[in-house]
Amino acid sequence: MVYDWFNRQSEAAPTPPPADDSASAQEPQQDAAASADDDPLEWARQAYARLKAQKEQANATPAAPQSDSPAEPETKPEPEPEREPEQEPAPADPEPTPVAGLSLLEQAAAQRQERQQQLEQEPQVAQEPVAEQPVPAASVEVDREQDEPSLGAFDDTFTWSAEVLAAQGREAEQVTLEEIDWLGRLRQGLEKTRQGFVSGLLENLGDDPLTPEVLDDLESLLLRADAGVKATDQVLDALRKRMNEQVVDPSEGIRFLKEQLRDLLEAPIKSSGVDLLAPQRGQLNVWLMVGVNGVGKTTTLGKLANLAVRSGYSAMIAAADTFRAAAVQQVQVWGDRSDVPVVANPSDNADPAAVVFDAIGAARSKGTDLVLVDTAGRLQTKHNLMEELNKIRRVVDRLAPDATVESLLVLDASQGQNGLKQAMAFARAAGLTGVVITKLDGTARGGVALAVASEAGLPIRFIGAGEGIRDLRPFNSFEFVEALLASR
């Protein structure tokens, strides 16, 4: 069964029937299908039992069964939850204050701007892109991660992931290990941002209705998470308006906040008219990776090539970063990892546009679905870089006028808003169509996704949360916001 990761659906029937030689395989069918609304834990349990049965079936099928998992009791279909999923955060104990009149909005906005500046000036790791660090091909650790996801324990992470899928209308029997695996990675990746954001916010919320003080805290938290003044203003204005209309209890406050954040992230996606960015089958797709140096363009391209292959698309890589000698080797390693051909020009100072020219020609003759183009992040001058991107773009448009072209701005989340501003200036010439946010793991600045949507007005298409080949997935605002505000 091929799982199309771009479109997030299985190509074949959702799941094969369970093996009849395994008692546990029949278990999920004996229970009446649990409704995720009525009993999310039971729903998760059923999804787990099903995945486990599939795994047992898969292990039983090969002539020589491998024991790839730590000793697991086979005849124990009912996993023990480690802990009941909590729907809502544990209440703290704030002192409620009656809602006072609002200060002038303009005044509030000015204050926010000022606070943003203060926060920016506070000592923090300035993430200026440092001098170019060549990434030798050998430094890419090929065997660091598994190629297939494995079913872990029936724990918090599983139940949380299952709840997120259930909330999107997924049936227990449609849940795939791929999705459970990624949601776990996403939640893990947003850990640092969440620590600052959620523990701050949720601890200030009690059983009592929202207060202006709680909103002030939320404002600081959003700014600190690098959500930007515009998104912060928008969310706070909506919350204040809501508070003026009615008393907002904490769970309603969280629900409303999530809705606001989702709306913000969804706005550019909706206006692009394309919910999920996937290569169009039956035609040539050319995706350019652009962005300043070191943000993760090449890594993203390698991960995308892998996603494409695993999703049943044919792919090719154009090594159009000819500025650094090591860049071609680096891209070659990524190509090898997924068996994706790489088109490169080994001569010194090769013309990147010529490499793209060759790649498109090769892709046409082979009927390749997707050409991924690696571009340089640094040249002698910014002007040269713009010129080069323009030239590449012109070659693509001329040679493949019927191709679907995407110009994806790759953005390093750990550079936060500074990175966004710099990248926007840099890449205006490239006719951007979307953004990939990388390095969400290990930064507390995951809120930059909100700034991307509100300030750059560009749809976020993929997010990277780790250096591994599987650490990139299509962006889903619902899942992102749930992971950002997960209460445990």
Q: Which residues bind Mg ion (CB under 5 A)?
A: 297-298
Q: Fill in the per-residue mask, 364 to 383: x = in contact with ligand GTP (CB under 6 A), - = not in contact.
A: -------------xx-----
Of these partners, ligand GTP, Mg ion, none, which one is at the site of residue 262 (CB under 5 to 8 Å by kind)? none
Residue 290 near residue 428 (C-beta atoms within 8 A): no
Give the one residue of 49, 340, 430, 465 binding ligand GTP; rule: CB under 6 A.
465
Kindly tell me the number of DSSP H helices and DSSP E strands found in the chain. Answer: 16, 10
- Give the C-alpha separation, 162 to 355, whole Å: 44
Q: What is the dihedral of CA 180, 183, 187, 189, to 10 degrees?
A: 120
Residue 435's SS3 state is strand
User: What's the closest the beta carbon of residue 327 comes to Mg ion, in angstroms?
Assistant: 5
Of these partners, ligand GTP, Mg ion, none, which one is at the site of residue 296 (CB under 5 to 8 Å by kind)? ligand GTP
Q: Which of residues 267-296 bind ligand GTP (CB under 6 A)?
A: 291, 293-296
Q: Which is nearer to ligand GTP, 40 or 377 (CB)?
A: 377
Residue 438 lies near ligand GTP (rule: CB under 6 A): yes
User: What's the closest the beta carbon of residue 149 comes to ligand GTP, in angstroms?
Assistant: 17
User: What's the closest the beta carbon of residue 318 comes to Mg ion, in angstroms?
Assistant: 13
Beta bridge partners of 288: 373, 407
- Give the C-alpha separation, 453 to 265, whole Å: 5
Cα dist from 117 to 20, 232, 451, 457, whole Å: 64, 14, 15, 22
Cα dist from 190 to 72, 359, 380, whole Å: 30, 36, 35
Q: Which is nearer to ligand GTP, 209 or 466 (CB)?
A: 466
Of these partners, ligand GTP, Mg ion, none, which one is at the site of residue 464 (CB under 5 to 8 Å by kind)? ligand GTP
Q: Which is nearer to Mg ion, 105 or 138 (CB)?
A: 138
Q: Which is nearer to ligand GTP, 291 or 446 (CB)?
A: 291
| Closest listed residue to residue 152, CA positions, set 5, 243, 61, 48 | 48
- Give the C-alpha separation, 428 to 437, whole Å: 17
Residue 81 lies near ligand GTP (rule: CB under 6 A): no
User: What's the closest the beta carbon of residue 135 comes to ligand GTP, in angstroms?
Assistant: 5
* DSSP string for residues in 362-412: HHHHHT-SEEEEE--S--SSHHHHHHHHHHHHHHHHHH-TTSEEEEEEEEE
Q: Fill in the per-residue mask, 333 to 352: x = in contact with ligand GTP (CB under 6 A), - = not in contact.
A: --------------------
Residue 94 near residue 204 (C-beta atoms within 8 A): yes
Q: Fill in the per-residue mask, 219 to 248: x = in contact with ligand GTP (CB under 6 A), - = not in contact.
A: ------------------------------
Q: Which is nearer to ligand GTP, 223 or 408 (CB)?
A: 408
For ligand GTP, the binding residues (CB under 6 A) are 132, 135, 291, 293-299, 321, 327, 377-378, 438-439, 441-442, 464-467, 471
